[in-house]
Amino acid sequence: MITLEAIGTFILIVGLLTITPGLDTALILRTAALGHRRRAWGVVLGIQCGTLVWGVLTSLGVTALLTASHLAYETLRWVGAAYLVWMGGRLLWTAWRPSSSESPQTTGSGGETKTRAGAGDTLLGGWRQGIVTNLLNPKMGAFYVAVLPQFIPAGASHLAQGVLLAGVHVLLAVLWACALIAFAHVLRDRLQRPSARRCLDRITGTVIAGFGIRLALGQ
């Protein structure tokens, strides 16, 4: 059985990983800041489902095969990089292109604005985006392969202990996501202005595309 000291060390490691600004943080903040609370929680749920999958696969030894196989790792890396660059590029294209639909949105009624803001606010859509982003990141698999086995005692059930540790990671990430969504909700009215939204999309798009480029370069 995993000792309390080992769990404490694991919490410290994944806690620092969780609060470090990165792809997940940018994705959750951007979605929540646009007023899409259901979609934001869908993104959180999808990301954490992906984390659990990585935990299970690592416990079963599958991710060790991924990192050991150069072809499998490189394939996942390039697919993940292409997806992130496409997602970030789409945000940047939307943010920089001249928008003719901006004036009707700003001059329309409050109800019309809310309807447009909530058009893509679906839990399932956010879940799909979150889990795809997480599972196409081979760095998650590499991290779990490097870290998880060190905390599983010899003779213990790898699957049970791996799921337990992944569950701890998920719990910390959900608590952090609550803080991010609450922060975005406070600033929602300001960030939903067209100029602020374009700025937010440019920042988020740059972060996501940047992660994709770094992944493609193997950094």
Assess if residue 142 is contained within a domain: yes
Domain count across the chain: 1
pLDDT digits (tens, 9 = 90+) for 142-165: 888 888 888 888 777 888 888 999
- Tokens linked to 122: 């679906």
- Residue 41: C-alpha distances to residues 25, 47, 74, 149, 178 (Å): 13, 10, 31, 30, 9
Assess if residue 203 is contained within a domain: yes
Assess if residue 86 is contained within a domain: yes
SS3 of 193, please? coil
Residue 3 has pLDDT above 90, yes or no: no
**Average pLDDT score over the chain:** 82
| DSSP label at residue 151 | G
Q: What is the mean pLDDT of residues 182-188?
A: 85
Assess if residue 72 is contained within a domain: yes
Among 126, 87, 82, 99, smallest CA distance to 206 is for: 87
SS3 of 217, please? coil
- The reported pLDDT for the residue numbered 165 is 92
Residue 6 has pLDDT above 80, yes or no: yes
pLDDT digits (tens, 9 = 90+) for 192-210: 777 777 887 888 888 888 8
pTM over 0.85? The answer is: no
Assess if residue 99 is contained within a domain: no
- Residue 133: C-alpha distances to residues 33, 126, 162, 210 (Å): 19, 11, 22, 14
**Which band of pLDDT confidence, cut at 50, 70 and 90, is reported for residue 68?**
confident
How far from chain centre, in Å, is Cα 41? 11
pLDDT digits (tens, 9 = 90+) for 71-111: 777 888 888 889 889 988 888 888 777 654 444 343 343 44
- Tokens linked to 109: 């009624």
pLDDT digits (tens, 9 = 90+) for 28-49: 988 998 888 899 999 999 999 9
- The reported pLDDT for the residue numbered 121 is 76
Which domain, by its residues, includes 197? Answer: 4-17+39-93+121-216
Assess if residue 168 is contained within a domain: yes
**Which band of pLDDT confidence, cut at 50, 70 and 90, is reported for residue 170?**
very high
pLDDT digits (tens, 9 = 90+) for 106-143: 334 344 344 444 556 789 999 999 999 999 888 888 88
Residue 219 has pLDDT above 60, yes or no: no
Assess if residue 26 is contained within a domain: no
- The reported pLDDT for the residue numbered 83 is 87
Assess if residue 159 is contained within a domain: yes
